[in-house]
A and B are shown apart, each in its own frame.
Chain A
Amino acid sequence: MPQQTVCPTCAEPLDPDDVFCGVCGMNLSAPPPVPAPSTEPDFELEPAAGAGPGCVHCGGRQVAPDGYCEACGGVQPRPRDHMEQSLPGVAGVSDRGVRHHRNEDSFMLAATSLPGGASAVLAVVCDGVSSASRPDEASQAAAEAASQSLLSTLEQGVAAEPAMRQAILTAADAVAALAYDGTAPTPHSNSPACTFVSTVAAAGVVTVGWVGDSRAYWIPDDREGAEPYRLTEDDSWAARMVSAGLMGEAEAYADARAHAITGWLGADAEEVEPHTVSFTPHVPGVLLVCTDGLWNYAEAATQLADLVRADARADPLRAARVLVDFAITAGGHDNITVAVLPVAPLTVEGYTETLLDMKVLGPLPTQPAAPLAPPMPPVPPAVPAPAVPSD
């Protein structure tokens, strides 16, 4: 039996002679628990660990089919409490966190190829609005609808930005439909609603779409030579106050209303304004797509960049897990979902890396009035800035 230096259950340091852990009472002479397989499952959601026979709370043997322990009444981990998925080119992790009783976030990852043969990878992350009814169903419906829509339009050769806008509208319809599916409305709650953020990396171009306060960040591998960047602008009260010039950023974000969202998907959203942005990365890095369960604890792109593992591009799942663990350790006040999408610059004939900087490949389709153009600081030469349609 290998020598244990810390208790496998509670991480208390052990003496070589210890038979039981002095803190949690773990029997150390028993065979150590089999660690969860570290190989990532392909195309499969992994339920939370520990869902074996017996109650995870009291150890009781009987758990009713509806998921409640027949001794202590404790609810058993549900598949959505912790979800991980990994595909070639993208990985995502979602967790219930600490202070919420269920995971109302949802995400979808997918990969396909464009008609020309180039591969396209996408991630969709949605955060159910807690004050609305059935937020968990809303986020799942949105993520599934958007992912389906993106796959079919991209495969048909639709350009990424119009495809993204269509996906957002499709997701909005799917969430709105939940309000009319015959389920009795929860008293005192609004119609099912959620936020939305998605990225597509295809043919060297990254396209981001969002509604609400879920975010996407660009984190370059080389944190010295290039600057990490936030790619989305929240549909939130604070962001509106700042962009309208009514408040400074510090003042706006200190306000109790700061996080009230002004845009969402749902039957009672007045009008869904899909925001989209595209850019061409000229250096390797990762796209970080996340809910506020993460960015509440590390708001600035530079802060987040410090938490992204240097090998994130090689092992995106691990990078996503580390970010989720960071948010849980920081308090886990909300559900946390993180998708990590590695991006490498495309070497296209006729371009050199220096020339590629920020250039959007292909003509941008004309876009309706850009909502809340993200106010970006002056673009330093080596920093990729989103190409926002100017009008």
Chain B
Amino acid sequence: MAKLSKSNPPTFNTDIFQNEYLADGAREVNAIVTVTSTGGGTTGGRPLGSLDAAAAAPSGDSAVVIMVDCSGSMDYPPTKMRNARDATAVAIDTIRDGVAFAVVAGTHEAKDIYPGDGTLAVADDRTREAAKQSLRKLSAGGGTAIGTWLDKADKLFLSRREIAIRHGILLTDGRNEHEKPEDLQRVLDRVTGHFTSDCRGVGTDWELPELRRISSALLGTVDIVAEPSGLAEDFRGMMATAMSKQVADVALRIWTPANASVKFVKQVAPDLEDLTGRRAEAGPRAGDYPTGSWGDESRDYHVCVEVPSAGVGNEMLAARISLVLPQADGSTEVLSQGLVKAVWTDDLASSTRISPQVAHYTGQAELAESIQVGLEAHRAGDLDLATAKLGAAVRLAHQTGNEGTYRLLQKVVDVVDPKEGTVRFRKDVSEADSMTLDTRSTKTVRVKK
């Protein structure tokens, strides 16, 4: 990974929510870790007065590459290509002065159409206008090989290694048909950690698992833009989020005691992302889980640790959780820290209590899984299983106040009784509604205050 820190990173806070009391013999410790970053270049308490800080203004530290699908299918209907072009133009308008950027046209191969010289342009009125002009050159034709697009983006980012915050936006409308899945995976493995990327699927002919694999690896979001006319607004939002990032390559470091193990680490808000397999060893009994770049925002993580059992009356540290920022010299800066504890008690009232935060996010994870399994069963023609699973999803969404997901469910099933989760499949479920529900099933809500 490249140079990683800025002179004025935001302030991070780590809050731990857990019930540390365990029954005699219990070994599993669950905690919700809420990480909040505030400040940085915009609102924080750190003064920006010094020359040094002025030189490291936030925009000079960001780069963005927009990858637009230009395969032949983008012309069916022709509005798709036009909307993609318009959306890209809106995104370009949102790029702040000083941010380095490029536009890549993706087919079975990748071509950087702006600035077009294998490097990144620096945003100002002139370059933004020139970039928009170059969009006229975008036309549909050819296949789809997303790996080549990511590879091109990586090369473009590498032309400006000193830029810390690197973000991609990838738009596609179809399957990755013109390269082998293992070729895409190979590229993905290579570029993971180099930059983050959001993925957008336009229409309903793209593959959710494929895009999810890319956005997960690149620590970004995946979403469906069912109607091409919605692209511009979506691009504006994505770009605004990308522009708000102030610090890159932050990792969640989890230390566990001897003979303990991390069962899982998941981001649970704003959406679900399993990070368990992303562990990179970081010294004795510690591992780093990547979280990408941060602006002013708050995210929740569910950490589950299995500790060696101890007798009633004992207390131990089950995990030490910190947010770390790698430094140029190879060391790491600890941004904040929280402790997860385990205390064994014979007081049943204490040990049987479930932390409201842990219960809530366990429910959100179950909600997402119910939707995914339910829709998969529906596609496979198992209507009984599909109805049962989506019924459970309706009940969970209702119970936990996840209104967004509840509304999406209502487009797929008729809700008879939300409390019991009694539902009937609708006769006229559109592919777009079904796919939207699937794509956004990982969207969570936070605990009601």
Contacts and interface: CB of A to CB of B under 8 A. Distances in A.
A72 B313 contact: no
A58 B259 CA distance: 12
Contact of B343 (A64, A72, A101, A332): A101
B341 to A, nearest CB: 8
A287 B426 CA distance: 80
Contacts of A97: 313
Interface string A78-103: 00000000000000000011111110
Contacts of A72: 257-259, 316
A63 B307 CA distance: 18
A72 B259 CA distance: 8
A385 B345 CA distance: 40
B429 interface: no
Contact of B314 (A66, A101, A187, A188): A101
Nearest to A189: B350
Nearest to B312: A99
A28 interface: no
Contact of A73 (B313, B316, B347, B356): B316
A382 interface: no
Interface in B237-257: 256-257
Interface string A186-198: 0110000000000
A123 to B, nearest CB: 26
B315 A75 contact: yes
A60 B312 CA distance: 22
Given A75-B315, A101-B315, A69 B343 contact: no
A219 B150 CA distance: 85
A69 B308 CA distance: 14
Contacts of A100: 313, 345
A26 to B, nearest CB: 22
B257 A71 contact: yes
Nearest to A74: B316
Main secondary structure of the interface of A (DSSP, over half): loop
Interface string B10-35: 00000000000000000000000000
A67 to B, nearest CB: 9
Nearest to B346: A99
Nearest to A60: B258
A75 B316 contact: yes
Interface string B240-281: 000000000000000011111000000000000000000000
B257 A69 contact: yes
B130 interface: no
A101 B257 contact: no
B349 A71 contact: no
Contacts of A131: 349
B258 A58 contact: yes
Contact of B313 (A68, A69, A71, A98): A98
Interface residues of A, number: 23
A196 B315 CA distance: 27
Interface string B307-348: 100001111111010000000000000000001000111110
Contacts of A27: none
B407 interface: no
A131 B349 CA distance: 9
Interface string A45-81: 0000000000000101000101011011111000000
A132 B313 CA distance: 18
A85 B280 CA distance: 50
A166 interface: no
Given A69-B257, A73-B318, A75-B316, A101 B349 contact: no
A332 B318 CA distance: 25
Nearest to B340: A73
B353 interface: yes
B344 to A, nearest CB: 7
B353 A188 contact: yes
A119 interface: no
A130 interface: yes
Given A101-B314, A130-B347, A73 B256 contact: yes
Contacts of B285: 71
Interface in A340-359: none
Contacts of B259: 72
Interface string B274-318: 000000000001000000000000000000000100001111111
Nearest to A66: B339
Interface string A106-128: 00000000000000000000000
B349 A75 contact: no
Contact of B344 (A66, A71, A101): A101
A69 B316 CA distance: 9
A96 B313 CA distance: 9
A131 B318 CA distance: 23
B83 to A, nearest CB: 49
Contacts of A60: 258
Contacts of A130: 347
Most buried by A among B317, B343, B346: B317
A238 B314 CA distance: 31
A332 B346 CA distance: 13
B345 A101 contact: yes
A193 to B, nearest CB: 16
Contact of A102 (B256, B260, B315): B315
Contacts of B312: 98-99
5 nearest interchain CB pairs?
A: A73-B257, A68-B317, A73-B317, A101-B315, A73-B316
5 contacts: A68-B320, A72-B258, A72-B259, A101-B313, A101-B345
